[in-house]
Amino acid sequence: MPKCVFTGLVAIALTMGARHAQATPVLTFNAATGGSGSNQNQSVGWQFDVLSPITVTGLGWYDQNADGLDTQHTVGIWNPGGTLLQSVLLPAGTGAPLDGQFRTIMFAPLVLSPGVGYIVGGENFATNTERLAADVSFTINPSVSFVDATFSNPNSGFTRPTMFSVADNGFFGPSFSVSSATPVPEPASLLLLGSGLIGLRSLRPRSAKNLR
């Protein structure tokens, strides 16, 4: 295949397939509001409903002051039937990057279908001195509906926290990030497309004068 044709086809393929993906926290909260839950050796988190399909790309834990996690936390997300869909171990310190207010570990996209009773939760510790945010002012992705703060029995380790709290909202230690993607041609792809079209133009039949 002539090089110019190959360049043109690659450019078209890249342009058609180019997508702009953005991962964002599913929620953000005003740290100047609300209070704190009690840090104990248990799992804490929150229950939510999925209103329309949403793609989860990471799990995280709130990093107060954005200066590194005080302790490590295992964080997971469970479907309404109680099946653990994904979990990560967030190390103490700044080893995991910040996504908004949360130290987050990313993974292959996980699509959550509409349903009632999803839970995101993580193991907490009595030695953790960072805030376990509760009763705060928060905003949440419109595909998700917050239900309640949840917790497990003390000394239960990493487990699905299913007991509802008296807190109005929280416990925003654990949370997750979501991804959205829309077809957007990248500048490099547009440049390749242009060079490809120029190459294809060069294949036009030459005039009789040029063939002599």
Q: What DSSP letter does each residue of 3-49 carry, written as one string?
A: HHHHHHHHHHHHHHH-EEEEEEESEEE-TTSSEE----SEEEEEEEE
pLDDT at site 181: 55
* In the predicted structure, residue 90 carries a pLDDT above the cut 70: yes
* In the predicted structure, residue 18 carries a pLDDT above the cut 50: no
Token pair for 164: 């509802």
Helix (H, G, I), strand (E, B) or coil at 211: helix
- Band the pLDDT of 23: cuts 50, 70, 90: confident
- Indicate if 107 and 204 belong to the same structural domain: no
- Indicate if 138 and 63 belong to the same structural domain: yes
pLDDT at site 197: 42
Cis-peptide into 158, omega within 30 deg: no
**What is the share, in percent, of the chain residues with pLDDT greater than 90?**
74
- Indicate if 166 and 199 belong to the same structural domain: no
- Of the two residues 20 and 41, the one the predictor is more confident about is 41
- Band the pLDDT of 95: cuts 50, 70, 90: very high
- Indicate if 40 and 117 belong to the same structural domain: yes
Helix (H, G, I), strand (E, B) or coil at 208: helix
Domain with 60 in it = 21-181
pTM of the predicted model, to two decimals?
Answer: 0.77
Average pLDDT over residues 38-61: 98
Question: How many structural domains does the chain have?
Answer: 2
- Indicate if 92 and 167 belong to the same structural domain: yes
- Indicate if 157 and 196 belong to the same structural domain: no
- Indicate if 73 and 165 belong to the same structural domain: yes
- Indicate if 153 and 60 belong to the same structural domain: yes
CATH number assigned to the domain comprising residue 33: 2.60.120
Task: List the single range of 16-20, 33-37, 43-47, 129-133 with lowest mean pLDDT.
Answer: 16-20
- Indicate if 58 and 126 belong to the same structural domain: yes
